Every structure is written in C-alpha cells, then in structure tokens.
Structure 1
Amino acid sequence: MNSRFRYTRLAAMALSATLVLGPMNNAWADSQSAPVVSSVGTVSISDSSYFELKQIHVLPEASGKLATFTITIHNDSSNELQFIDYWVRLKSKTGNQFSARLLPADKDKNRVSPKSSEDLTFYATVNSDTNLQDLIVQFIKWDFSQSNFERVLGEVEVPDGYTDITPADGSSIISVGGNDVTASIKKFVSNKNEKYYVPTVYLTLENSGSHSVTIPSYLFSIRTPEGLLYPLEAKGTKNLTINPKESKEIQLSGSIPVAVAPDGWQLTLAEAIADLKMNIAIAAFQLPAVASQEEGSLGKEYSFTDKSGVYYAALNGLHRLPWEDQDIVTADLTLSNKGDDSLPIPALTGYFLLDDAVKVEANLVQTAKVIGLAAGSSVNLQIAAKIPYTYEFSQIKLVLQEKDADGDSTSSGTDTGSADLTDVLEFSSQAELQAIPYIGMGESYATTSAGHRTNYKIRSIQTYGGNTGSLFTAQLEATNAEKRYTNVSKIVAHFRAPDGTIFPADVAEITNKVSPSGKALINVSAKIPKGFSTENMNLMIGDAITEGELTVGDKKPDSYVNPVSFWLPDELKDAKSTLKGLTLYPYTITLDHISTQIDNSTFTLGFNYEIQKDLLIETNMEGHKLVLVFEDGKGRKGFEKSFEAKEIDPVDGDTPDTAGTKLKLGKHENFEISMTDEDLIYKSTFLKKYKLSLYDELDGQRRLLGSQDIDWFVTTD
C-alpha cells in the first residue's frame, strides 16, 4: 500500500513538472490559439464534456520537424473540470511516440469553469520523415486503478485528406488576446532579377472580436512544396492595433533564389517562443496566382513594392531634347507614398526599349532635396538617356528598375551600379513624344522640386550686333520661392527657331545665394549667323545634370531634365538720345555735367556719373563691358574707353575712383579721362561738336544704350 502511494506521488509530481515546464511567456499570452480550421475530431470526456482537436501543424526545424496542435476542452456540465486529471499523447500511425508539452503560456490553465471552454496548445519534436497525416492525438485520463495508471478515452487520427493550409481564396481565424482576427491574402506580386524572385504578399487582418487587439510580432515565411522556408520582412506590423470591425493591410516581402521552382508556394505564420528557442506555427495559406502587372500608360498611376513598402508611380511625360550632336530622351515620373508610414526613396534606375529591340541604358535624376517620402507625399523623378539625334523609332518603352541595396556589390564594397536590378514597372508610348510645355509671353513658370522652388520669367531680349553675326540674348528672371537663402539652380539653355534650328546658349551663372522672395537675373546668350531671323524664336531651359545629379559648383553639365520653353517678347530698341537714365538692367546709368578741356597737348573729358542698382537682384555681368565712345563731329578726334561691368559693384575697401579706370555704384563727381596729343592744339580751331556714346559690349559685340551730341568746351546740365 505504501509503495503504491509513493509511486502515485511520483507520477503526480512528474505530471506537475510537465505542466509547468518553462517560465510564462507574455508574448504568447496575446495569441493563445492557432487559427481555427475545420475541427479534426473530438473525444468524449463525459456526457456533457469533450475534447476537440481544433488544428494541427507540422513545421520544419533544424533538428527535424516540430508538430504543434491545439485542443479545446468543452465543459458543458455544472461542475468545474480539472485538466490535471487528463493528458494528451502524440504518436504516429507506425507506432512512434513523441513527447508532447504545453506551451509556457498555457501551463496554468488547469481548470475549466462550468459552461465554458479552454484552448491548450502543445508542441512536440517529431521525426524528419513524419508528415501531418501520419499523426494521431491520444487523450487519456489518469486512473490509478489501472496497472499503468491511465485510461485511454479515445484518439483522433489526422485524416488523409486533412490539410492545415488555408485555400488561396479563403480566410483563417487567429485568436489574439482572446479575440478572433480573420486573416486572408489580398494579393500576391512577384518580380524577378538575375538571382532572385522578389515576392510581395499583401495580408489583410480584420478584427472580428469586440475589443481592440495588438498584433504580435509574427514570423512570416514562404514555404515551398519541398518544405524550404524563406523569411519575409513585414511592413506595418510594429505596434499594429486593430479596432473591432476594422481591417488593416500589411505587406510582406523577401527574396527567393531563382533556382527554386516558383510553383505551389505557401505563406506561413509562426510565433517565436523565446524561452523555448523555437517557432510555433500559427497559420498557413496557399498563395494565389501572381497578380499580373498592367503595362503602364501615360498619366496613370501604378503601384510597386519592395522591402520598405508600397510605392505609386505615374509617368507624366516623355520628351526628346537636343544635346549637341545627340538627343536626350527623358521621362518625368511622380513617385508617391500613400501609406501611413514614411518610406525611403528607393534606388531606382531603368532603361528605354525602342521598338522592342534597342535597349538604351538610362540614369535616374532626383532634383528635389528630399531624403524620404513622408506619409501622403510625393516627389518628382526623371529618367534620362542619350541617343543619336538622327535615330528614328516608332515605339518607346520605359522599364523602371530597382537596385538591390543588399546585393553582393554592397557587401564587397564595389560600385552599387553592379547591384542586382529588379524590374518593377513598365510604361509604353508611341514615338510621338509629348511636346515641351510652352510658357506664354509675360507668364512665369514655377518649378516645384523641394529645395529648388523657383519662379522663372523672361524679362527682355537684346541683340548685340557684329560684322559676321549677332549675339542674341535673353534676360531670365528667377525668383527664389524657398523660405531660405539658396543657390540658383544651374540650367541648360537653347534658343530654338520656328524651323527647328537649335542654337546652344551660354548661361551666366549666379554664384551668390538668393534671399527668400529675392530675384536673380540670368543672362542667356547665343551666337546667331548674320542674316538669320530671330523672329518667333523661343528659349528652352532645363535643370542641368552631371552624372545623374543636379549640377553644382564647377561641374560641367552632361544632360538636362524638366524642359520648358518660353515664348520671347519683342525686342525693345531703347537707345536714348541722351546719356541720362540709361538702362542696363539691373543697373541705371546717368552721365551729366559733361565737359571737354584742352591744356596744351592734353585732352580731358570730364563728367559726373551715377550708377544705381536694384539691390534685390543678383546677377552676373561676366563678359559685359561698358564702352564709352568719343567721336568728334568733324572726324578730327575719336577714342574709346572700356570699363568692366563686373567691377561696378563695390568691394570692401574700394574707394570712389576718379582717375578714369573704374565705374562704381553710387554718385561720383569730377570723373576724368585724359589723353595726350601733341598735334591737338592745331586741330582745336575746327572743333565744333562731338558725340559721346555708351555701349553695352558682350563678347566683343555691342548694343547702344544711348548717345548725345555735345558742343566742345561747354559743360552740359
């Protein structure tokens, strides 16, 4: 009797040790049961109570396979049911037995109240050749009247036709914190590069319960028919809370070697039990057919995904632009983030495919000063490539690609240009590319790239005459629309005649930063052959690009993007018959109190002058000269005096110059230009009138600002 009592005590202690194995795991407490599939089978406890095998999974692991199964104890009686009086055993149809243990989170579930039920989840390591349909769950009751102290209540065999995989168009119920969450797959997308498939699964979670739930940090994987597991990265699951009757969508993405057959893939959900150092299966889904990507067309928005999230891209326009003896083909794109979380800007590139035969590699250009996409924001991007200007094609396709930041090129420290590329979107168009936008006379054009917002407007045009041709110029007024001091973006410019003739233009770049709402005057010029009409000429500009980035500093542009053309106003022939109020915008120049004097062999031209400037205008007068031309009415005397226009603005330490070498801002009196002529005294009796003219000279060609006929030896007003 005593020996039997001791044996009974030992058996009870062993059972208690099994039930309390491992410490409590709080993470599992939020997910107390696996998904609800159709019941596998039931075993009676009494007339009013029974066990139900709700679901069972087999998941590969390092040492073989891990089986997990959930039973529900239904107590419909009026008395409490104690699970300590019962146990379950897992075995195979071939007779192998496997030790089943409770999850730590379920170790304290020893009692089932009347008229209630309780879920318990077990796990067991099984042989590597054991499949789901090989398993049997046996239910026992401890009975010390039996020789082995137990009585088998019944067992449930996993039917041959049973599956734990939710169909592609079905849903699975997951219990989270006692609330039911319905999980289903909305869409499955898979791209491909040279080394990997890049799958993306969109999983919808709907809270079917009556309380808000926070989704645990599940482990998501793709499982192949061979049992291979490839982890997926979840986007949008951190601290994800779902209110009752609310649905949330999460995105899962990863990579799978192309050597793996892309058929029969499944999505698996598991939860890591840190104390046990193992993953417990939660649910599995058959993946639907890959969603076909509609070929993109102009003006429509399409989505693509990567490991960071979901992006939307729209092709706004395709342009063909002149560049020396080549043409630049550019695509203008808008990249948007419509999600609730910020996204990084992906490493995009691409190529153009002409007539489905000729592949032209292209570079991505980002003109906006942004490092990411906030929720609900967008950014403009450009794709640019060069082709011979004589090449004709009938169809063009843009293939947008993403560089794999985790590719071998990054880890080896080599150029990321050799990273794996994944096609993400395609856009097609006929060869009739979009016309470059035209800005009407007097109208302004606003760029919207963050950090470079600028309003451009044509102020005036001028022609500088020469013997073999002329210099045609336009003054482009750029207003800083940013809220900070900023540099004026470098531009590339061309004058274009109505017959399509292109004249590349030089741009006098502005080196100083411009204040908010401040203006810069950009001088654009091109040499035009003698006799070539400039009537109906337009000015085409674009953001200057060097090696795929906005041109900065002393770098030389190798292309341009964001083209726009300005219709040019009529040229104002505003040369004056006086030397007062002459305009060389942003300067106004006045010469007065002009006088001549001869002292023996020295001739002196004297005058007062004033130069005013709009101080809110930044400009670059490099190459401009003010040329003062003196001509005697009888042709007896003449000379020229040049002043560098770039020296007009005062420099710290400069003092007013009256020695006839420099012109400076402000009012200056008694400015003199002197020269010596030994024969001048003999010519003085013929001196009656002279003409004094002021020219604006650029690259050796001149434009008259004003001239005035003056009597010798008389001081003007």
Structure 2
Amino acid sequence: MRKYRVTYAALLVSTLVAGQLAGSIAVPVAAAAATSKNAAAPAAAPAFKFNSVPLGAGVTAVLENVNIWSQTGGNIVSYTLKYTNSGNSSASLLKYFSRVVTPGGSVLPGNPVGTDALKKKVGAKESLSVTYYVNVGQTSSLQGLKISMLVWDAKAKGYLKQTGSYAVPANYSTAAAAGTSLNTTMNDIPVTASADSLQLYKYGGKVYAKVGLNLTNKGNKVLGDPGYSAYLVSASGTSFELALSSTQADYKIQPQEKRSIYYLAEIPAYLKTDNMKLQFTQKDETTKLELPKSAYKLPAATSPNLVVGSGVVKKIIVNSNTIETLIRNANVYSQDADAVWTFQMQIKNTGNKAVTLPSYELAVKSQKGTTFPVSAKGLSGVTLKPLETKIIPLTVRVPLEVEQSGLQLLMIEAVGADNISGPDSSGTSEGAGTTGTPGTPAPASPVTATTKMIFPVAYFVIPYALRADVMTGQEYMTTNSYGSFSYSIQSLQRYPWRDDDIVAARLRITNTQTVSLTIPELKGSIKLDNDSLPVTTELYMDNKESSVLAPGKSVELYVLGKIAYTSEFRDMRVALNGTQNSESVPFLDLSVNNSINSIPTIAQGKSYTISKKGKAASLKENKTTVYEGENYNLVYTELLLSSEEKRQSKMARLQAYYKTKDGQYFEASSSQSDNSASPGAKQLVVFWTKLPKAADIADISLYLGAGINGGKLIESKEEATGFVDVAALQLNPQGNVPASTLASTVLYPYTISVQSSEGKHLRSSDTLDITINYGLKRDNQYDAGALEHKLILQITDPFGISTEKTLTLGTDLTEGTNNQYSLSISRTLYKTMGGGAYSLTFYDEFQGERIKLGSQAYAVTNVNPVKPEE
C-alpha cells in the first residue's frame, strides 16, 4: 500500500515540476531537422521521424505519431510511444512517464488507452508501443504542443527527472499526403492505405461528397471490420461523419488483396472543399472517448459527369466487382392522360464473385427537373452470380403535358440508418448524412440520423421512341428477365360469346437462345384504346405442362378478352406477366391496331382441324337439316369427328355459333360423346339452334372452336368459359324429302325396315288391329352422346283420323330382323267400316319439332265374325 501512496505523491509533485520546466523544454534533433530547406512543405505524418529519448538502463522511447481530435467534452490528443529495451532483463513501464504541455502552458499527464492499460513492462531485447491520450480542452491544434519524457528518480526534486522531450513542429501533419501511402495496422493486421479520390455530386438541391480509400491487406489473415468511424474534415476543422457506401457491404479484404472503399456524406453547398482530409477514429471502450487514428489528405475535389448516353454501358463497382448497367428497349404509348414508358435495365456481373446489389431508388426526370418515381423492387437486393446477366423491367407514367423527349432515368443509391460507417465500418451502426455543422467540431460519438441519405449513381438518357404496333405474322425479338426469345402474333380474332364478344390474340413464342427458356406461370391482360381498365381475360397455352422450351422450340398461347359486342376500338394492348417473389413481372407487352383477322372459312365438305396436343382430330359435316316449326326453325347439324391421336384419348369439347347471311349469331347447343376415342375412331357431334322464321339459312355457317376453362382445353360435360381456334365451317342445309315407303328409315343410330303391315277389322267391331313386321338395326360405327331424338309413329285410318305413338328404339322396337309390333285403335266409327286403307308415317321429333321420314299405305282387311256353333 505504501508503494502506491508514494507513487501517487510523486505523480502530484511531477505535475508541478513539469509545469516549471515547460517553458525550457529542449527541442529534439528531429524538430531542428524540420527547419531544413524542406520545412516550407507540410510533412506527412509517416515521413516525419522523431529522435529517440534515453530513459535509462538500455531503455529508449521514440514518438511514433501524435494526433488531435475534436470532442464535445474537450479535444483529445493521442500519441504513441515506442519503447525499446536493449538490456538483458525486462523493464517496468511504471517508472516512465510522459506529459503533454499545451501552448498555453498546461501540463497534462498522458494516460494509456484502454487496450494498452495492461502493458506494464517491455521484455529484454524487445520493443513495445503504447498509445496515450490527453484531454487538452479547447486547444484545437498540434502547433506549439510538446511532449516531455520523465523517469522515476528518488534523488531528483519531485522524484521525477526529465530525460528529453518532443516538440511538434509547425509543419507537422497528422495526415498522409495525397498520393502517398501509409503503412499502418488495422485489427493488428498490417495494411497499406492511401487516399483515392474526393468526388462531389449535386442532387435534389443538396451536395454529396464521395470519398475513396485504397486499402491493401499486407497480412496473412482476412481483414474484417476495423471498428473505425470515418469523417470528412475540412481545412477549417469542420467534420462530417461519413457513411460507408452501401456498395461496400462486404467489408472483408483477403490477404494481399487491394480494395477501394468508398464513403458518403452530405455537405453544405457553401463549404470550401480545398485541402480536405479523411480522418478515422476509434472509440476507446474504457474511457468512452473517440480517439484519432490514421488520416489522409484528399486530392482536389472533382465533379464527375453522371449522364449516361443512350445505348452506353455504365459501369458501377459493388464490393470490388464491376457491374455493367444498360438501359434498353425503351418505348412509350399513351394511356388516359399519361405517357406510359416501359424499358429494361440490363445488369451484368463481370466479376468472379457473386454480388448482391444494395438498395437503389429510381426516378424519371423531365427536362424541367420534375421527377416521377419508378419502382426499384426488381433491382434492389438482387444477387448476380459471376458473369450472370439479368433484365429488370421498369415502367413509369409521365403526364402527357410533360415534354417526353430528354427524359433521364435517375439511379440513386439509398444509404439508410443501417449503412452508417461508425463506430464500425461494416455498416451496422446507426447514423447517416452530416453530423457536423460549419465551425462546429464533430461530437465524440456518432449522432444517430433518422433519415436516409440518397446519393446519385447515374443519369441514363432515355431515347424517345413511340412503341410500334406489332404486325400479324411478323417475327420480333425481345429479351426479358427470363431470357431471349422471338414472338409473333399468329392471329387476332373477334367472335361471339353469349352476351359478349371475345377478342383473342394467338401468339407464338420461340426460344432463340442456346439454352433452355423457362416460361413462368403467365397471366394475360388486354386493354383497348386508352381505357385504363383491363378487359376480363383468360389465357390458354397449348402444351401448358411444358414450362421449359428447348433451344429452337416454340409454344403457342392465346389471350382472350371478353368485351361488349357493341364495343368498337382502334388499338389493343396485350400483356403477359409472370410472378417472382409475389411480385408481378412483365414477360411480354405489345400493342396492335384493330387489324382483326377475318375468321378463316372452311368450304363445304372440307374438314375443321384441331391440332392441340392430346386432342388432335378433324371434323367434317355429316348433314345439316332444318326442322320447320310453327314459330321458328330449328337448324340441326351433325359433324363426324375423327380422332388423329395415336393413343386412346378424350376429345376436346366443341363450342359453336350459327351465323346467318345477314351477320346474326345464334349460340348452338351441343351433344358430344364423353367416351375416349380410339385412334382413327369417329364420334358424332351434334349442334342445333332455333332461328326466326324470317332468317335466311341459304349461306349459314358454323363458327366452330375448342372450348377452354381455367387455361386448358375442356372435355365433354365440362363447362366452357370461352373457345379458341375459331373457324367458319360452311354448311350445306338439305331439305327433307320423305321416303315413299318404310322399307328403310334412318333415325341415327338405328335403321328401321318395315317389311309388311296388316290391318284387320272385325265387321261391326269398333276396333282396328294393326300388326307391323319390321327389322331394326343399330349402326355402331360412330360413338355419340345422348341425341334425344324421338321416333313418332302416326297411323291414319280409312276415315283420315290420325293416331300417334312414341316408340322407343331398342325398347318398344327391338333389334332384330323378323320382329313384330302390334297395336289396336278403337273408335265407335269403326263399326260401320267396310274396308279401305290406313297409312303408317314415321316422324323424327327433336326438341319438340318434327321432320317426316317416310310414309306407306296398307289395306284394311274386314273379317267376318265367327258364328258360334249351334
């Protein structure tokens, strides 16, 4: 305990002694050297060498560096002494003391920083560096500052003996000169550092400074976060805390690797930028003080031109990797009161490491400076593998009243509160923007900023190009975020659908790459003219399950929109969008004028073809008949569908509308087999509709197509929401000519052959008995759905009175060659019948309407009653 009391007393005495000696401290040789012929030029800190001061017993000390940093609670001077012990035994540092003497005469003891407080001795034949700090109050310059060295000596007055001192020369600089390198350490790893650049940018009425530092890791370990705060310091001493650029998020420098690190700050527009320096500080956790570290004089400020010409590649550096950016495929079209601009940003990682882009803000600026925001979700945070290229689609709406030529896309780096450099330069502490004001020293600890700092990266010139209409049948090339491909519009059609019309665009996409093209799950949209509201749409893609297109392969898809049948329009916009990370991403966007293709016509007797995968078939008219009703006519069409698949498969459900000569459309009801069709098998498909009696059916056609629902072709009994591949099948309505006999009556799929009929009447009886001998044969060559035809048998007696029977084929009349059907008709009138003839007539009844198939008369035989035996 006594020893510590004596030491404490000695320290008190030494303070008084040092104060008495302050005015007569000798300037070391190094100071004299500074007055040589080069004294006029400021000396860089690493170039100036102080002479060593002997401390006794083979121990010497040399001042390695001295720095000063402004603090709110008093300015802090830090200095580093290197002790060298040439003796054969260790030397205790408790016997050596240093004092800082200010120009005003204050004598202040140096205290070791927290990390060096435990350094108590220097070993034999070894050297040891210790950093000390002193609060010098309002002293703001190193000029006139002196550091004296003292040793414990019990014989000396005050127990301390001065052995030498260091006077900081007037031309001493704490910063490495611009263009020169400084060998120093970070995280105990040797590094070589030098100032790279000082660039000034103006954006949004503010001025931003970008400071570059070159760092080379000279050690054999990875250099990580050194834990420094960075400041931009003006010649007058005003400091601004720097934020680490968000393009430097990966603060890891490999051994022997050289990296350029960039820092950002907002500065006042009126600030003089001559002779600025980059200052690093480190917080001492023990004292909670911010201690100055290395500093670098910056070269003269420059203001780079950020404007990127049309078609020019702009290179940006992200984590030491070069990213090439390019604006391409810019075009514009009008919608409502806006010009809608669409373009793409192509980004390519030309480096050899994966890179994740920082947060960016995008906006389009007019010639008068008005800006319009652009969503940057697809750009910010995207990861690029080495040599990978990605396409980012961008869209912006600019009012038509704004001059559309001369627009620029502004690419802005967003540095938020989580990107500030200090106290660690990995960008994990808070604060951004400026933390000092002109004439005010920077605070001892970083000020937490609540707003982000935005920093301009590039101004891309957007070429003014109206989006050209796509022509039907012409091939176009495009590239998007999914890859490169060609596309063409195969057809544009308009045809009826219930109370509306369908407009359908059939597109073909071909993979033009040498690698596979992945087609995402697409959604389509249609907009007409300048209507901002999209049309209700449905998308169908042939072979939808194939989402990957091999090189050179194609796929067809249909975008269908339902519009009022009275709608008229000039232009149509068709858009396809995929989804990435729950965000809608454009796949293809095109405009077409109202060049609606005419529905292709299929001549009478020719076939309509379905070429869809798994549903390939051809259809041909079998017959078209008119059932003449009292108030309307029923048109009935049978089509023969032939499967062209090589496997048994279910056929597509067909949808149809009848079109009359005067342009009226009538939705057709249908009947179609639900059974699978074998290769080459035929099915009977039936359509019918009711037409007004006045409708001209001479040139009637059937608008025929394959039904879809939910983006796929449907089968029989499934409900359709639209149909595709529509063609007009010209029909050949045939008038019905009844047969004069019943020898062969066809009601598909049956043929009835009446071989004979006998009518017997018992004299004076009221009953006529009729027997029909027939054959019934079923035709099984076609598969059909429920046809709902009824066979009506009409019997007309000798008095001209008719009686009807509905016969169910297969039940009332059975299949076979020698069958008999009997019936009896009773009327009081028949009691007087003395013979005559009756006729049998067959009718085909469908949906309540009839056509006569054939009729034949037969004689009535009167039979005398058998007298009872007497």
Q: TM-score, normalised by structure 2?
A: 0.57
2:657 pairs with one of 621, 627, 647: 627
Helix, strand or coil: the match of 2:523?
coil
Helix, strand or coil: the match of 1:255?
strand
- In structure 2, how many angstroms separate the alpha carbons of the residues matched to 1:244 and 1:403? 29
Aligned residues: 609
Give the aligned partner of residue 486 of structure 1: 521
Letter of the 1:100 partner, please give it: G
1:476 pairs with one of 477, 498, 507: 507
User: Does the CA contact (< 8 Å) of 1:213 and 1:243 recur in 2?
Assistant: yes
User: Does the CA contact (< 8 Å) of 2:505 and 2:558 recur in 1?
Assistant: no
Report the Cα offset of residue 273 of structure 1: 1.8
- In structure 2, how many angstroms separate the alpha carbons of the residues matched to 1:463 and 1:237? 56
Q: How does 1:227-376 map to 2 (within 5 A)?
A: 227-234=237-244, 240-258=251-269, 260-294=271-305, 295-303=307-315, 313-316=325-328, 318-321=330-333, 332-335=344-347, 341-353=355-367, 358-359=368-369, 361-365=371-375, 368=378, 372-374=382-384
Give the aligned partner of residue 736 of structure 2: 713
Letter of the 1:276 partner, please give it: T
User: Does the CA contact (< 8 Å) of 2:247 and 2:318 recur in 1?
Assistant: no
Q: Which has the larger radius of gyration?
A: 2
- 1:546-600 per-position Cα deviation (integer Å, ceiling 9, x unaligned): xxx9989xxxxxxx99876899999798422236632589797836442536578
Helix, strand or coil: the match of 2:190?
strand
Give the aligned partner of residue 111 of structure 1: 121
Helix, strand or coil: the match of 1:10?
helix
Alignment CA distance shift 1:489-1:550 (3 Å) = farther
1:121 pairs with one of 131, 146, 150: 131
Give the aligned partner of residue 531 of structure 1: none
Structure 2 unaligned segments of length 5 or more: list them. 13-43, 418-430, 432-450, 497-501, 549-554, 565-569, 646-653, 675-681, 706-725, 738-745, 749-781, 783-870
Alignment CA distance shift 1:422-1:307 (3 Å) = farther
Judge which range, 134-143 or 563-572, deviates more. Answer: 563-572
- 1:147-195 per-position Cα deviation (integer Å, ceiling 9, x unaligned): 3111100000111111101222222222235442111222333323446
Report the Cα offset of residue 292 of structure 1: 3.3
- In structure 1, how many angstroms separate the alpha carbons of the residues matched to 2:89 and 2:303? 58
1:167 pairs with one of 177, 183, 186: 177
Please state if 1:426 is matched with 2:459: yes
Helix, strand or coil: the match of 1:161?
coil
- 1:398-444 per-position Cα deviation (integer Å, ceiling 9, x unaligned): 2515386869xxx9xxxxxx998754423458x77599698995646
Letter of the 2:658 partner, please give it: L
User: Does the CA contact (< 8 Å) of 1:608 and 1:668 recur in 2?
Assistant: yes
Please state if 1:509 is matched with 2:517: no
1:70 pairs with one of 80, 88, 91: 80
Alignment CA distance shift 1:340-1:483 (3 Å) = closer
- In structure 2, how many angstroms separate the alpha carbons of the residues matched to 1:43 and 1:152? 10
Helix, strand or coil: the match of 1:84?
helix
Q: How does 1:579-590 map to 2 (within 5 A)?
A: 581-582=607-608, 590=619
Letter of the 1:149 partner, please give it: Y
User: Does the CA contact (< 8 Å) of 1:380 and 1:449 recur in 2?
Assistant: yes
- In structure 2, how many angstroms separate the alpha carbons of the residues matched to 1:56 and 1:335? 47
Give the aligned partner of residue 663 of structure 1: none
User: Does the CA contact (< 8 Å) of 1:397 and 1:426 recur in 2?
Assistant: no
- In structure 2, how many angstroms separate the alpha carbons of the residues matched to 1:239 and 1:422? 19
Give the aligned partner of residue 602 of structure 2: 576
- In structure 2, how many angstroms separate the alpha carbons of the residues matched to 1:463 and 1:142? 105
- In structure 1, how many angstroms separate the alpha carbons of the residues matched to 2:135 and 2:274? 28
Helix, strand or coil: the match of 1:578?
coil
Letter of the 2:76 partner, please give it: L
User: Does the CA contact (< 8 Å) of 1:296 and 1:428 recur in 2?
Assistant: yes
Judge which range, 144-153 or 189-198, deviates more. Answer: 189-198
Q: CA RMSD in A?
A: 5.7
Alignment CA distance shift 1:147-1:87 (3 Å) = same
Report the Cα offset of residue 80 of structure 1: 3.7
Alignment CA distance shift 1:400-1:258 (3 Å) = same
- 1:44-84 per-position Cα deviation (integer Å, ceiling 9, x unaligned): 33596521111011111121101110011133445543323
Letter of the 2:149 partner, please give it: F
- In structure 2, how many angstroms separate the alpha carbons of the residues matched to 1:74 and 1:159? 24
- 1:613-655 per-position Cα deviation (integer Å, ceiling 9, x unaligned): 999xxxxxxxx99432468xxxxxx9966128xx99xxxxxx9
Give the aligned partner of residue 86 of structure 1: 96
Please state if 1:203 is matched with 2:229: no
Letter of the 1:334 partner, please give it: Q
User: Does the CA contact (< 8 Å) of 1:475 and 1:524 recur in 2?
Assistant: no
- In structure 2, how many angstroms separate the alpha carbons of the residues matched to 1:420 and 1:561? 34
Letter of the 1:694 partner, please give it: L
User: Does the CA contact (< 8 Å) of 1:329 and 1:387 recur in 2?
Assistant: no
Q: TM-score, normalised by structure 1?
A: 0.67
Alignment CA distance shift 1:220-1:106 (3 Å) = same
Give the aligned partner of residue 11 of structure 1: 6
Report the Cα offset of residue 344 of structure 1: 3.8
Letter of the 1:510 partner, please give it: E
Report the Cα offset of residue 321 of structure 1: 4.1
- In structure 1, how many angstroms separate the alpha carbons of the residues matched to 2:452 and 2:169? 48
1:55 pairs with one of 37, 51, 65: 65
Please state if 1:643 is matched with 2:667: yes
Give the aligned partner of residue 625 of structure 2: 596
Helix, strand or coil: the match of 1:69?
strand
Identical columns (%): 15
Letter of the 2:603 partner, please give it: S
- 1:268-300 per-position Cα deviation (integer Å, ceiling 9, x unaligned): 111122222112211111222334323322333
- 1:515-573 per-position Cα deviation (integer Å, ceiling 9, x unaligned): 5357531259999xxxxxx9xxx99867799xxx9989xxxxxxx99876899999798
- In structure 1, how many angstroms separate the alpha carbons of the residues matched to 2:174 and 2:610? 83
User: Does the CA contact (< 8 Å) of 2:356 and 2:383 recur in 1?
Assistant: yes
Q: How does 1:215-226 map to 2 (within 5 A)?
A: 215-226=225-236
- In structure 1, how many angstroms separate the alpha carbons of the residues matched to 2:485 and 2:522? 10
Helix, strand or coil: the match of 2:215?
strand
- In structure 2, how many angstroms separate the alpha carbons of the residues matched to 1:66 and 1:427? 46
Please state if 1:448 is matched with 2:480: yes
Helix, strand or coil: the match of 1:509?
strand
Alignment CA distance shift 1:399-1:287 (3 Å) = farther
Give the aligned partner of residue 146 of structure 1: 156
1:459 pairs with one of 490, 496, 503: 490
1:522 pairs with one of 559, 569, 572: 559
- In structure 2, how many angstroms separate the alpha carbons of the residues matched to 1:159 and 1:390? 62
Report the Cα offset of residue 607 of structure 1: 3.1
User: Does the CA contact (< 8 Å) of 2:213 and 2:260 recur in 1?
Assistant: yes
Structure 1 unaligned segments of length 5 or more: list them. 1-5, 18-33, 412-417, 466-470, 495-501, 528-533, 553-559, 616-623, 632-637, 649-654, 659-665, 681-686, 698-702
